[in-house]
Amino acid sequence: MPTCNNPRAARLKQRHLPGSLFGVLAALFLAITTSGCVVIPLGDLVTGSDFSEQVIEKGDGFFSGKIALIELNGVLSSTAGGLFFASPDNSVSALKAKLDLAADDRGVQGVLLRISSPGGEVTACDNLYHEVQQFRAETGKPVVAYIDSIGASGGLYAAMGADAVISHPTAIVGSIGVIMQSMDLSRAIAAFGVEMDPIKSGKMKDLNTPWRSMTKAERLVLQKLVDDMYQRFVDVVDAGRKKLDRAKVLELADGRVFSGVEAARVGLVDRTGYIEDAVSEISSRLGKTGNKPALIRYTRGSPGGANIYTRGGVRPAGENSLTLRLDGLHSSPGIYYLWKPGL
C-alpha cells in the first residue's frame, strides 16, 4: 500500500485500497467514459467509509484529475439532531469528513465549496472556517468558495477560509455581525398572576432569562460577549480580504447585506460568476488550461464515519437541522453569526 505524508490523510490510516484492484479500475473507467452521474462506493475504496463518490461531470481523461464539490447548506450548526431525532451528524462533522476524503484522494486536486447559508452558531462557523484553512495548509490543494443563493454572516465567515470567493450575481452576501436573542415576557406572565422565583447561586445565574427584565449590568455583560465575537468576525474578514483595509471592513461590518454584484464591487468577494467560473478558477490555480477535471461529490449512504465533531445520536440529520429550533419561542440560547430577518 502506498504511504501518504499528508498530515490530514495520515489521520485516515485505517483506510486502504482493497485487494480487488479490478473493481476499483472498473469504477474509475465508468466515471471517465460515461456521461451523467456515476456512483463509486467508497466503502470499496476506503475501509470504514460510509460515503460514495458521485461523478457530476466527467473530465477530459484519466489524468485530468478531480475537483471535489462540497456544500454548506442551510443554518450552520455543530449541534446534533433535528426536530424529532437525535443525530451524530452536523454541519461541521459533515464538512470535515468530506475534506478528509478529498485530502486522502490523490486524484482530487482541489475543492469547490458551494455555500448557500445565512450562517449559524458562532462556534460552528468558526470551526468550518478553521477546517477549510487547515485543509489548504496541510494538502496544498486550492479551495474556491462559491456563494450560490446566500452567503450571509457565518456563511461568509466560512468562505473566508478559501483561496478565492466567487458569488452568483444575484446572491445575498454580507451581514457581518453577531446577534443574540433576548425576550422579556415578564409583563405577559404578570398579567396571568404568575411570578418566577428562581433559586440561584449568583445574581447573574439566570442571565438573559425571558421571565424578568434585564438589568443594565447584565446587558453590559452580554454586549461585551457579542462585541468580542464581532471583533473576531472582523479579524477573519480582514485576514481573508487582503485587498480591503481594516477601516473599509469595519465600514461594511454593520450587518448590512449586498447583492453579489455589489459585494464584488466593495471587495467582499473576488468577483461574480456562475459555478462553472468557480471550477475554472480552480483549474487556473492548478495551471490546467487544457484538460477539464471531473467534478465529483461525496454522498453519505448511512450513518457512521465519526470524527472529532460528531455528536452522539441514532439517525442522520439534514444540514438544516437548526432551522426549526431557531423559529418561534423555541429559539436555542446562544450567539449567532446569522442573517435571519424576523428572528
SS3 329: helix
Find out whether 125 and 119 touch, Cβ atoms under 8 Å.
Answer: yes
Q: Is 243 considered catalytic here? A: no
Q: Which of 205, 213, 224, 284 is catalytic?
A: 205
Phi/psi of residue 227, nearest 5 degrees: -65, -40
- Distance CA(61)–CA(109), nearest Å, equals 14
Query: What cell does 84 get?
Result: 424529532
Residues forming a β-bridge with 146: 114, 166
Cβ neighbors of 310 (< 8 A, separation 6 or more) are 80, 88, 89, 90, 93
Q: Which of 52, 78, 153, 175 is catalytic?
A: 153
Phi/psi of residue 271, nearest 5 degrees: -170, 170
Q: What is the DSSP string of 266-306?
A: HTSSSEE--HHHHHHHHHHHTT-SSSPPEEEEEEE-SS---
- Distance CA(317)–CA(300), nearest Å, equals 11
- Distance CA(95)–CA(158), nearest Å, equals 11
Q: Is 205 considered catalytic here? A: yes
> Rg of the chain's alpha carbons, rounded to an integer?
22
- Distance CA(67)–CA(102), nearest Å, equals 9
Residues forming a β-bridge with 165: 145
Phi/psi of residue 129, nearest 5 degrees: -60, -45
Q: Which sequence positions are flagged as catalytic?
A: 153, 205
